[in-house]
Structure 1
Amino acid sequence: MASYTESPELLRSFTAQANRYPMLRPEQEDRLARDWTERQDRRAFDQLVHSHMRLAVKVAAKYARSGLPVADLVSEANIGLIKAVQRFDPTRGFRLATYALWWIRAEVQSFVLHNWSLLKGGNTATLKRLFFNLRQTQRKLGIHDRIMSDEEAAQVAEKLSASIEEVREMEHRFATPVSSLNVQVGEEGDHEAIDLLADDQDSVEERLAEQGELNARRALMTDALTQLGDRERHIFAARNLADQPVTLETLARQYGVSKERIRQIESGAYKKVVRRVRAQVDTVAPMPPPMALGRRTAAMAMA
């Protein structure tokens, strides 16, 4: 496994390789995408993939702090890119980069989570949320990569709905990689290793893609919930979408039935929602199961 201190050099190498391929103008991209979707033109497919490899490297770079091999992260990002190109439909009116971003990010995140044991544990939902969002939240709060004060840790904990102890635990896990980014590099030692990492700031296109993804998920959840009856909808939401899930016992008392009956209703409702979501997205793009749509998105859908 490559050490984290090697990451900047590897990222620079991957970025240089990706930059060898020119970016496509909208009309070029549209022509190549149609050549692929209509005639399965392999050369068109390869051009589409190559021209977007820099996006895959940029997404992979954001997960370099995970401690996983950079080469593996880039490889997973490229797999996501290939899946996106295979399924891209140019007639829908949006650019390939916008469509591919979700696929790339999903592939890399899945790889990181499946290898979570490399982070010495951390299999709770809260720690996973901290792992993916801690540094971004720190930047938004104006907190730099250093040991946080108690007040700063409390701010981060509030923003991410976590305890201060959980924030401190994730901060500790990041401590060694973060310090390694500050080593001097270059012939004259006039740069730090962190200077060679890709910019973490999202581009306008990425922000638009994220907003589009949120809107799409909201629409999917809204539609899926219409397939449930009033009681099913309430039980499903109380058990799966609330910030603090309601217990089976509480719902059983409310409806005057057994806990097992509530569990059966919840299970049936969940299956209905899954079927509806899958039916809506199978021909467009992969979507996570309903609970993975996020409680914030689900709450907005039910408002």
Structure 2
Amino acid sequence: MALQTAPSASNTLAPASAWALVPPLGNLDAYITAVNRLPLLTHEEEQRYARQLRDDGNVDAAGRLVLSHLRLVVSISRQYLGYGLPHGDLIQEGNVGLMKAVKRFDPDQGVRLVSYAMHWIKAEIHEYILKNWRMVKVATTKAQRKLFFNLRSMKQGFKAGAVDADTHRDTLSEREIDLVAEQLNVKREEVIEMETRLSGGDILLDPAPSDDGEQAFGPIAYLADAGHEPTAMLESRQRDMLATDGIATALDSLDARSRRIVEQRWLQVNDDGSGGMTLHQLAAEYGVSAERIRQIEVAAMKKMRKALAEYA
């Protein structure tokens, strides 16, 4: 009976479509086990498939390049598990970076795809971490991103090399801050600022009620500015208009005697802080009784309220 020889790496990639080798959906452990069993490409195979993709746009060749490097993404993603993000999401973002690398890979550059793809895989994972590690981004510029990842790595190194209890604290000491600034070639103030951002956390502005139904206290209670609430701003603007143009319009609706009585009784302020003329002083000036002045004042105020209502 003839002996059967073991299939080579090229023979294991024999299916007409490379995507036929994609493992079936399942849990994360099953996926990692499956991609680790996918065969690696030889240098000659990698060059051939890369040229087919570049020259002919062969999608099947691109699939073979991607599949043979899925284990690389799994390996790189494990380095970022300390950020508290799901491993599956890190792998997914790394796969996006791998596909971008395959699309841009030039086989004539003289490097293997594995070396070229590492940059793209890490770049996509970095972007995902910066967007999802906190609700508010801790790093926006290129220099801040570099400092973010290097500072976390160096802090873990400081903790691993600590020999006394005092060095196990979460914050950096003055000596460690100077060391980080020197090694990363950044300003000391930048290290302190990034350290402050890393040590902080997200706080809900409006926390949900507790189990007993009581409303939990949150920053929204003292951050809210009622003065800038749209309704309050409209009401304040309307009051200002009534106090200026509205009063002037209402006074114009009065006759000369009624206007003088209202102005003297309600709008006149003397230098000593006292009010205007009294009912008896106005009565003596117009030669009528104080009660008559009061009646004219009441009628004038009623007419003014009507004019203000129409103005508003």
TM-score (norm 1): 0.45
Q: Which has the higher contact order (CA 8 A, sep 6+)?
A: 1
Larger Rg: 2
Using the size of structure 2 for normalisation, the TM-score is 0.43
